[in-house]
């Protein structure tokens, strides 16, 4: 495979690979998906071809995705741009949306994401609205 090229992410100054690695299936919590060893193989191959842009979300496989990503970037965090979606949070008691697009919700979700696994910061957040 030809090594990936990099592009600026909007006006953020972040250089991201032309392909992002989606990690929705990192974690077997939903009865399917990749365990940590398989996730590591996928992640390592992505890095091998030059990937540095990783997408996750607070509710992907009930949080395992963010934990796995944190583990996978542990000793090389500065090399990656990690994006997460913070309005996908669900109240575990009612399974209803628990987040809004407000600043407080963004800050709370960002702190929770940074606490999942060994990563200490996220690079980008985005909101997702469902209809």
Instruction: Give how many domains the chain has, as a whole number.
Output: 1
pLDDT tens sequence across 58-115: 778 888 998 899 899 988 988 999 887 765 555 666 655 655 566 666 666 656 554 4
Residue 27 lies in a domain: yes
Residue 116 lies in a domain: yes
Instruction: Tell me the CATH number at 75.
Output: 3.20.20.100
Has 86 been annotated as catalytic?
no
Q: What is the 3-state secondary structure (H, E, C) of 32-71?
A: CCECHHHHHHHHHHHHHCCCCEEECCCCHHHHHHHHHHHH
Q: Domain limits at 116?
A: 6-126
Q: Which of 26, 43, 53, 60 is catalytic?
A: 60
Residue 105 lies in a domain: yes
The predicted model scores a pTM of 0.74
Cα 120 vs. chain centroid, distance in angstroms?
13
Percent of the chain with pLDDT over 90: 41
């Amino acid at each position: 495979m030809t090594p990936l090229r990099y592009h600026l992410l909007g006006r953020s100054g972040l250089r991201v690979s032309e392909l992002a690695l989606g990690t929705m299936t990192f974690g077997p919590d939903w009865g399917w998906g990749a365990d940590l060893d398989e996730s590591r193989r996928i992640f390592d191959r992505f890095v091998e071809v030059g990937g540095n842009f990783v997408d996750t979300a607070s509710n992907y496989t009930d949080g395992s995705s963010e934990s796995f990503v944190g583990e996978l970037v542990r000793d090389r965090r500065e090399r990656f741009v990690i994006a997460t979606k913070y309005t996908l949070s669900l109240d575990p008691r009612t399974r209803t949306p628990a987040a809004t697009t407000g600043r407080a919700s963004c800050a709370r979700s960002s702190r929770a994401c940074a606490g999942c696994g060994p990563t200490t910061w996220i690079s980008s957040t985005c909101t997702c609205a469902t209809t």
